[in-house]
């Protein structure tokens, strides 16, 4: 409702119009609307549909709804996932981490493993062949030093003690290398690098292709 304090600078008669509107004297008769002028719209009655029964095929997706709880995978699926994390080598059903650690097994077991891996694994598997050649080179070096100390030991008992200490230290060293290779950590023996490269080049794969 307009107020008497409202002003309109464009209409000088605006205050008088406000007073007349407040007094109810606007010159127009009050219109009274009659009831029932427009007919009441009747909506059709609402009926409930008959309950529909789903068949087995239609209800199958809703038989086990998700409840927010974690459902663990089966043991077979878990084993497959674990095995897929360990890459295998073409032609050999042995995981890669076992092949890279086998050549460092002490007591000359790694020597045999290194030779077999170089003969079986193709040249495309550079990582495995490198560890096989390096482990084989380490065993060859240990074998040479042990033979020298054994020959000297025939003349003095001090050489026999030195051979025992050398064998103990090299065995521990090979175990450390095997563990590191198993864990995927780099293993590089600088002192036998040339022999490693020579063995890897000369021992070609015989049954797995090149």
DSSP string, the chain: ---TT---TT-TTHHHHHHHHHHT-SSSPPP-PPTT-SPPPPPPPP-PPPPPPP-HHHHGGGSS---S---PPPHHHHHHHHHHHS-EETTEEEEHHHHHHGGG-TTTHHHHHHHHHHHHS-TT-HHHHHHHHHHHHHHHHHHHHHHHHHHHHTT-HHHHHHHHHHHHHHHHHHHHHHHHHHTT-----GGGHHHHHHHHHHS--SSS--
What's the confidence (pLDDT) of residue 73? 46
Whether 4 is in a domain gets the answer no
The mean pLDDT value for 31-45 works out to 61
What's the confidence (pLDDT) of residue 76? 44
Other CB atoms closer than 10 Å to residue 116's CB: what's the count? 14
Whether 18 is in a domain gets the answer no
Please determine, for residue 116, whether its predicted confidence score (pLDDT) is greater than 80. yes
Whether 125 is in a domain gets the answer yes
Whether 193 is in a domain gets the answer yes
Of the listed ranges 15-24, 49-58, 123-132, the one predicted with least confidence:
49-58
Whether 185 is in a domain gets the answer yes
Whether 159 is in a domain gets the answer yes
> From residue 94, how far is each of 43, 58, 76, 116, 171 by CA, in Å?
78, 46, 19, 13, 24
Specify the number of domains making up the chain. Answer: 1
Whether 175 is in a domain gets the answer yes
High-pLDDT (> 70) share of the chain, %: 55
Of the listed ranges 3-12, 102-111, 143-152, 188-197, the one predicted with least confidence:
3-12
pTM exceeding 0.75: no
Please determine, for residue 45, whether its predicted confidence score (pLDDT) is greater than 70. no
What is the length of the chain?
210
Confidence class for position 182, pLDDT limits 50, 70, 90: very high
What's the confidence (pLDDT) of residue 102? 95
Confidence class for position 16, pLDDT limits 50, 70, 90: confident
The mean pLDDT value for 47-65 works out to 56
Using an 8 Å Cβ cutoff, are 186 and 100 in contact?
Answer: no
Whether 40 is in a domain gets the answer no
Confidence class for position 74, pLDDT limits 50, 70, 90: very low
pLDDT tens figures, 18-34? 677 666 555 555 555 56
What is the domain extent for residue 169? 95-202
Which of 71, 121, 74 has its CA nearest to residue 99?
121
């Amino acid at each position: 409702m307009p107020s008497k304090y409202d002003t309109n600078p464009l209409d000088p008669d605006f205050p008088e119009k406000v007073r007349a509107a407040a007094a109810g004297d606007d010159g127009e008769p009050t219109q009274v609307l009659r009831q029932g002028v427009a007919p009441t719209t009747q909506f059709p009655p609402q009926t409930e549909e008959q309950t529909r029964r789903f068949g087995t095929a239609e209800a199958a997706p809703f038989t086990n709804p998700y409840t927010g709880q974690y459902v663990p995978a089966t043991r077979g699926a878990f084993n497959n996932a674990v095995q897929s994390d360990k890459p295998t080598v073409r032609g050999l059903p042995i995981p890669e981490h076992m092949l890279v650690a086998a050549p460092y097994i002490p007591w000359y077991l790694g020597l045999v493993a290194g030779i077999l891996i170089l003969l079986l694994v193709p040249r495309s598997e550079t990582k495995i062949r490198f560890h096989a050649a390096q482990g084989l080179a380490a065993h060859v070096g240990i074998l040479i030093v042990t033979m020298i100390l054994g020959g000297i030991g025939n003349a003095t008992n001090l050489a026999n003690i030195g051979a025992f200490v050398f064998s103990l230290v090299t065995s521990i060293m090979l175990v450390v290398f095997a563990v590191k290779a198993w864990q995927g950590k780099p293993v590089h023996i600088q002192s036998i690098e040339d022999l490693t490269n020579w063995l890897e080049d000369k021992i070609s794969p015989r049954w797995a292709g090149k």
